[in-house]
């Protein structure tokens, strides 16, 4: 028998039950965070909507970002509610909500715009349930495991969560090939089983303290974070004559309002007797440094994920004979070394961190991540896959070495009654980093393409007989349209020239070249590589800064 922090006695098997159940919970929550990315073409075909029509790009963005934004905004509040009302209670409720939302998603009765709104709305509800799972899972494990085993348990849980992001890419491709509704069906039985299992097996073993709900803190934090992330996201859309929206009054206003609300949140939290989050925790060096490193690593990891998808789907796979329609699935498969690296390094690093502390493992891991980014930016666009796979494996190993010890250090640096909100804040930094990466890295890539892509595209089209006026019009379209086309597994040239019957008016030989597998990748390789160097250089810098933050976290200290 084991006595927990609260004096509750549990059997020796309970901690393993808690580990297996919470690992299932965070796995399905993170899988569903990325599963729609690969399956978006099938989903939009299923509801009869073209996401690349300018008026429909908003649906596309919110299908990707709605889940991420909710996950980033709500986890702190839900973690704090777990501290007050019980972490297991909040976790169990999250599993039930997640299962119900998954069922509603798979039963979408509408089509076109209303069908997309149905999916976006229920994805937000699903994200609410998933946030309840991720916000409280680490706290439940920290309560259940003694300090000497905590790193191992949190390592398994955390690496499963991170691996879920990449498993979702492969699962989305496989399931979408069967039926677009299967993308959502798969979560229903897992959600139901997980709900029943958690209600029957998990117990409240952590410290719980009655407190008032901090409405001011909850509302200002949720609104500030949500507005800020949404503004950053909309910064990737064109505005006027600009390829991005960073000069848009709405984007600038959203950035200003978001920052203002977060300032109000910080001031309010110092005045309220029972705040949602005690800012004094940032005086704990291990807590502050760990969360800063987690944020920067999440931004870099998100950028890596999205850029690799575009690189593989838009250029490398078509050059190697894959049809555009098949590239989403194969992109997920070719990125598997990244997931393998996570799974190899995570649990081992968590176990070692219990003995040697988080700093050496986390810092070394981030150094490996930075080196892998440098290796990727030195590759040619049409690379040799074995070397590419080795670099992805190294990146996965490095991220695994960092994530598990870092999570353990963050959770062990706070007192037991603060573990729920600490877990929520850790998840907020991680999820916010993923959402931020879309705005940051897409903007960097679009800016890089905007300088050279129009002229390259116009000259290439005219060389195949496309009229000068049409080629100029296509070349003047925002680069984001080209990026989204490759992201969704469409041939960008075929999509851009489809209106007006341009392809039908060309000689068959020229039309075949334009719509073939090699024309677009060969055309954009040079402009894309310029953007890729900018993106991966920025990611490498973030990894280095994260490594410095990890190094400054302090020596291994006794856990609570």
Per-residue pLDDT of the chain (560 residues; tens, 9 = 90+): 455 554 555 567 888 888 888 888 888 888 887 788 777 777 888 888 876 666 677 787 788 778 877 877 777 777 777 777 778 888 888 889 998 999 999 888 888 888 889 999 999 999 889 888 887 887 788 777 777 777 677 767 777 777 777 778 778 877 877 888 888 888 888 888 888 988 888 877 765 565 566 778 778 887 887 788 778 777 777 777 777 777 888 888 988 998 898 888 888 878 877 776 777 778 888 888 888 888 888 888 888 877 888 888 878 988 888 887 777 778 878 888 888 888 788 777 767 776 777 788 888 999 999 999 999 988 988 899 999 999 999 998 998 888 878 877 787 777 776 666 677 677 778 777 877 787 778 777 777 777 777 888 888 888 888 888 888 877 777 777 677 766 666 677 777 776 666 777 788 888 888 878 888 888 778 778 887 888 888 889 999 999 888 888 766 444 44
Tokens at residue 264, please?
């109000």
- Pick from 419, 493, 431: which is nearest to 204 by CA? 419
Residue at 261 is within a domain: yes
Instruction: Give Cα 331 distance to the centre of its chain.
Output: 17
* Alpha carbons 100 and 78: distance in angstroms, whole number: 19
> Cα–Cα distances in Å, from 390 out to 244, 333, 407, 524?
34, 14, 26, 25
* Alpha carbons 104 and 237: distance in angstroms, whole number: 30
- If one counts the domains in the chain, the total is 1
The number of beta carbons lying within 10 Å of the beta carbon of residue 446 is 23
3-class SS string, 414-427: CCHHHHHHHHHHHH
Tokens at residue 312, please?
């593989």
* Structural domain for 263, as ranges: 215-275
Residue at 514 is within a domain: no
* Alpha carbons 39 and 19: distance in angstroms, whole number: 30
Residue at 65 is within a domain: no
- At residue 560, the pLDDT reads 47
Query: What does 93-157 look like in DSSP terms, one character per residue?
Result: HHHHHHHHHHHHHHT----HHHHHHHHHHHHHHHHHHHHHHHHHHHHHHHHHS-HHHHHHHHHHH
**Residue whose structure tokens are 């988080």:** 358
- Pick from 345, 402, 335, 406: which is nearest to 369 by CA? 402
Phi and psi angles of residue 275, each rounded to the nearest 5 degrees, phi first = -70, 160
Residue at 156 is within a domain: no
* Alpha carbons 411 and 152: distance in angstroms, whole number: 13
- Pick from 339, 328, 2, 10: which is nearest to 161 by CA? 339
Residue at 104 is within a domain: no
Burial class, 320, CB count within 10 angstroms (exposed 0-12 / middle 13-18 / buried 19+):
middle
Assess contact for 32 and 456: CB atoms under 8 A. no
* Alpha carbons 85 and 79: distance in angstroms, whole number: 10
Phi and psi angles of residue 208, each rounded to the nearest 5 degrees, phi first = -130, 135
Assess contact for 213 and 222: CB atoms under 8 A. no
- Pick from 524, 108, 80, 121: which is nearest to 313 by CA? 524
- At residue 368, the pLDDT reads 93
Residue at 219 is within a domain: yes
Assess contact for 458 and 473: CB atoms under 8 A. no
Residue at 404 is within a domain: no
* Alpha carbons 420 and 138: distance in angstroms, whole number: 8
For the chain, the straight-line distance linking the first and the last C-alpha, in angstroms and rounded, comes to: 20
Phi and psi angles of residue 450, each rounded to the nearest 5 degrees, phi first = -60, -30
* SS3 category, 375: helix
């Amino acid at each position: 028998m084991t006595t927990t922090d609260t004096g509750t006695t549990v059997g020796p098997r309970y901690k393993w039950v808690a580990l297996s159940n919470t690992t299932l919970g965070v796995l399905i929550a993170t899988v569903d965070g990325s599963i729609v990315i690969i399956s978006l073409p099938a989903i939009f075909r299923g509801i009869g909507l073209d996401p690349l029509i300018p008026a429909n790009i908003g649906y596309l963005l919110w299908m990707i970002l709605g889940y991420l934004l909710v996950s980033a905004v709500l986890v702190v509040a839900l973690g704090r509610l777990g501290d007050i009302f019980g972490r297991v209670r909040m976790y169990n409720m999250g599993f039930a909500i997640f299962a119900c939302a998954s069922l509603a998603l798979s039963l979408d009765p509408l089509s076109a715009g209303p069908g997309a709104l149905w999916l976006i709305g229920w994805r937000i509800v699903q994200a609410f349930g998933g946030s309840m799972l991720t916000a409280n899972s680490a706290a439940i494990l920290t309560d259940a495991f003694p300090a000497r085993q905590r790193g191992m348990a949190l390592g398994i849980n955390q690496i499963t969560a991170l691996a879920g992001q990449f498993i979702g890419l492969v699962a989305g491709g496989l399931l979408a090939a069967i039926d677009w509704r299967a993308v959502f069906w798969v979560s229903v039985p897992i959600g139901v089983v997980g709900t029943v299992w958690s209600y029957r097996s998990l117990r409240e073993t952590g410290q719980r303290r009655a407190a008032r709900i901090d409405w001011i803190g909850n509302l200002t934090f949720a609104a500030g974070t949500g507005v800020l992330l949404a503004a950053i996201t909309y910064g990737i859309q064109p505005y006027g004559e600009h390829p991005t929206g960073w000069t848009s009054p709405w984007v600038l206003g959203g950035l200003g309002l978001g920052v203002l609300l977060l300032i109000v949140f910080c001031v309010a939290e110092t005045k309220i007797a029972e705040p949602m989050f005690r800012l004094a925790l940032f005086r704990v060096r291990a807590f502050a440094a760990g969360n800063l490193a987690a944020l920067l690593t999440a931004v870099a990891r998100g950028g890596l994920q999205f850029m690799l998808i575009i690189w593989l789907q838009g250029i490398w796979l078509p050059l190697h004979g894959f049809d555009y329609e098949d590239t989403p699935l194969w992109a997920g498969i070719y990125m598997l070394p990244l997931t393998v690296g996570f799974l190899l390094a995570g649990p081992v690093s968590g176990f070692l961190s219990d003995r040697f502390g988080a700093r050496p493992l986390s810092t070394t891991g981030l150094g490996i991540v930075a080196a892998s980014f440098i290796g990727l930016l030195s590759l040619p666009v049409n690379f040799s896959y074995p070397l590419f796979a080795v670099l992805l494996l190294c990146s996965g190993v490095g991220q695994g070495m960092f994530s598990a010890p870092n999570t353990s250090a963050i959770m062990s640096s706070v007192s037991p009654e603060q573990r729920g909100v600490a877990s929520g804040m850790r998840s907020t930094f991680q999820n916010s980093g993923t959402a931020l990466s879309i705005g940051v890295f897409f903007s960097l890539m679009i800016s890089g393409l905007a300088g050279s892509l129009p002229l390259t595209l116009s000259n290439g089209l005219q060389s195949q007989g496309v009229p000068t006026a049409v080629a100029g019009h296509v070349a003047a379209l925002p680069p984001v349209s080209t990026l989204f086309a490759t992201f969704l597994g469409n041939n960008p040239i075929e999509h851009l020239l489809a209106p007006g019957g341009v392809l039908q008016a060309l000689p068959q030989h020229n039309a075949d070249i334009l719509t073939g597998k090699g024309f677009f990748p060969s055309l954009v390789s040079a402009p894309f590589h310029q953007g890729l160097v900018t993106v991966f250089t920025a990611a490498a810098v973030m990894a280095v800064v994260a490594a410095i933050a990890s190094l400054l976290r302090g020596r291994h200290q006794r856990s609570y």
